[in-house]
Structure formats: structure tokens, C-alpha cells
């Protein structure tokens, strides 16, 4: 018991609004509690809108947790969206020798950081969410596969305990979520990766980047939001009646009126699919887009 006294793990989630980072943080805390630990979950919302960067924090401890702050020097980081890597310094404060789990089709060796070494785990959680039909308004909800991937490197909670909590939380969608948890657990690739030990040019650039986009209705104010897309909307001009409903509703002003028709500006389209949902003619086709 002696080595357990004072032992605590701090976990920071990075995601975008709609991906379920806050829910994941709460479910992880509940699974930790059922495993005999003290646990705490704290959400942090920036711009509260779909697609904007969000964070959440979980603390797991053998003893009572008295902190009520954000997690600044995590032992673990969980990145629900690979695109967030371009907007937010997800490695910030991560302890040397700590661990990071990233939703990506890349390999752990593809990542660079200033820590001396990290355990890097990668998993295609978006692909797993789509395969298991974990979609809300057409957007893959990757939070449960990411928890499955996390347990691959965090051995203090049994997979079965997490599955029990997931089943209880999601009711009739519990089985699909549990299947995604298990698939992610089994397919996660883990490598110990050596870092540079000093900030790279890319790290410095990221630290200068705006971390919380501001929402005002003109193209480009939230940055190049094309990197947020999981799905690409395309107008079928044979069906489009030019009613302008999509132009009116697009939250990024990424739909322009060009001559007698509308056109999507793919630099700023963030893939929220509001345009497809509001189109009365079903004239906006949607296909998966993988950013590598």
C-alpha cells in the first residue's frame, strides 16, 4: 500500500465540440471510481459551438482529490481529433515519460515533440466510429473508441469495468459503443518514441497559433477550418434549385454566391454538414474525407 499513497494520474482530453470529450472524461472517472479509485471529471468549454476546440480533464487517485483546477502537467493526453494538432499545442505540459493517445491513421513514429520520450498510441477512432454507426447528425463520435485505446496504455481500469459503464450510459446504443471500445483497444498501436528534447520549429509555430477561434459570420475568422472536416459536402448542380438555404445557414460563411449559383469554399468549410441537413432538394452529397 505504501507506494500507492499519493499516487495520482492526471489526464487531459483535447477534442472539438460534438466529439464527446466531456462525456469521455465523465465515463472514465466513473469507471475509475468503480475500480476503487477516487476520481474527478472537469469540463472546459471555449467557444461553445460545434467544431470548436474543447478540453476536459480527469483525475484518478488512490486518495481524496482536493484540486479543482484544470490539468496543466498531465501524465496522459488523449487527442480525439488529429486536426486539433494544428491549432492547439496538445503536448504542452505533458510530463517527460508520459503518454499520448491520438485518433489518427498515422503511426506513433510520425509524431514529434520536445519531451525526451513519450509512449505514443495511435488508433483510427474515426474509422471505428463510422464502422459501428456512432454518428450524431452525420458526425463520427469518437469518444468511446478513444477510451478503449486509452485502456491499452492505462492498466489500472479493467476493460470490462469500462464496458459496464458504457453499457449503462448509452442504453440501446450501448452494444455499438462497447463494440467500438473493444475494437479500438485491440487495434491501438503503441510505441515508445524519443523526442527532440527541445522545441522544434513546428512546436514554436503551434504555441504562437490562436488556440480558441472566435465565431463571427465571415469566411476565415476561425482559421483554415478545412482541416476540421471528416466529411466533404458537394453540390449536385443538376438537383440544386439555388434556393440559398445552405448559404443562409452555413456557420462559417463558406458558401458563396457566384454568378447564378452557390459554391462551397473548401478552405473554410469545416464539414459540419449543416448545409446538407437544411437542403430541401437533398442536393448536397456527402463523402468521407481523410486528412493525412
Task: Of 239, 234, 238, 243, give the one whose Cα is nearest residue 263.
Answer: 234
Query: At its nearest, how many Å lie between ligand SF4 and the CB of residue 139?
Result: 10
Query: At its nearest, how many Å lie between ligand SF4 and the CB of residue 255?
Result: 5
Would you say 64 and 40 are in contact if contact means Cβ atoms under 8 Å apart?
A: no
Would you say 21 and 56 are in contact if contact means Cβ atoms under 8 Å apart?
A: yes
Q: Given the rule CB under 6 A, which residues bind ligand SF4?
A: 233, 235, 240-246, 250, 252, 254-255, 262, 264, 269-275, 279, 281, 283-284
CB nearer ligand SF4, residue 52 or residue 235: 235
CB nearer ligand SF4, residue 136 or residue 204: 136
Query: At its nearest, how many Å lie between ligand SF4 and the CB of residue 18?
Result: 12
CB nearer ligand SF4, residue 200 or residue 241: 241
Query: At its nearest, how many Å lie between ligand SF4 and the CB of residue 42?
Result: 30
CB nearer ligand SF4, residue 109 or residue 136: 136
Query: At its nearest, how many Å lie between ligand SF4 and the CB of residue 144?
Result: 24
CB nearer ligand SF4, residue 51 or residue 98: 51
Query: At its nearest, how many Å lie between ligand SF4 and the CB of residue 256?
Result: 10
CB nearer ligand SF4, residue 101 or residue 273: 273
Amino acid at each position: 500500500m505504501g507506494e500507492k499513497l499519493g499516487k495520482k494520474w492526471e489526464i487531459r482530453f483535447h477534442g472539438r465540440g460534438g466529439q464527446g470529450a466531456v462525456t469521455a472524461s465523465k465515463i472514465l472517472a466513473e469507471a475509475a471510481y468503480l475500480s476503487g479509485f477516487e476520481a474527478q471529471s472537469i469540463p472546459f468549454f471555449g467557444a461553445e459551438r460545434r467544431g470548436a476546440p474543447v478540453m476536459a480533464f480527469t483525475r484518478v487517485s488512490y486518495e481524496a482529490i482536493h484540486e479543482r483546477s484544470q490539468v496543466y502537467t498531465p501524465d496522459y493526453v488523449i487527442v480525439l481529433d488529429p486536426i486539433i494538432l494544428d491549432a492547439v499545442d496538445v503536448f504542452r505540459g505533458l510530463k517527460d515519460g508520459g503518454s499520448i493517445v491520438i485518433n489518427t491513421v498515422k503511426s506513433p513514429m510520425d509524431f514529434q515533440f520536445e519531451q525526451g520520450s513519450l509512449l505514443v498510441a495511435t488508433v483510427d477512432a474515426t474509422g471505428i466510429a463510422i464502422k459501428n454507426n456512432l454518428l450524431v447528425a452525420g458526425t463520427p463520435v469518437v469518444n468511446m473508441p478513444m477510451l478503449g485505446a486509452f485502456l491499452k496504455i492505462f492498466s489500472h481500469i479493467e476493460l470490462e469495468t469500462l464496458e459496464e459503464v458504457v453499457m449503462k450510459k448509452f442504453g440501446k446504443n450501448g452494444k455499438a459503443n462497447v463494440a467500438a471500445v473493444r475494437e479500438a483497444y485491440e487495434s491501438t498501436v503503441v510505441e515508445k518514441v524519443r523526442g527532440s528534447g527541445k522545441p522544434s520549429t513546428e512546436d514554436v509555430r503551434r504555441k504562437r497559433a490562436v488556440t480558441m477561434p472566435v465565431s463571427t459570420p465571415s469566411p476565415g475568422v476561425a482559421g483554415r477550418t478545412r482541416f476540421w472536416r471528416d466529411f466533404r459536402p458537394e453540390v449536385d448542380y443538376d438537383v440544386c434549385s439555388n434556393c440559398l438555404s445552405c448559404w443562409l445557414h452555413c456557420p462559417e460563411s463558406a458558401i458563396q454566391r457566384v454568378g447564378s449559383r452557390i459554391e462551397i469554399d473548401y478552405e473554410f468549410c469545416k464539414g459540419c454538414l449543416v448545409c446538407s441537413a437544411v437542403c430541401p432538394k437533398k442536393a448536397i452529397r456527402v463523402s468521407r474525407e481523410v486528412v493525412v
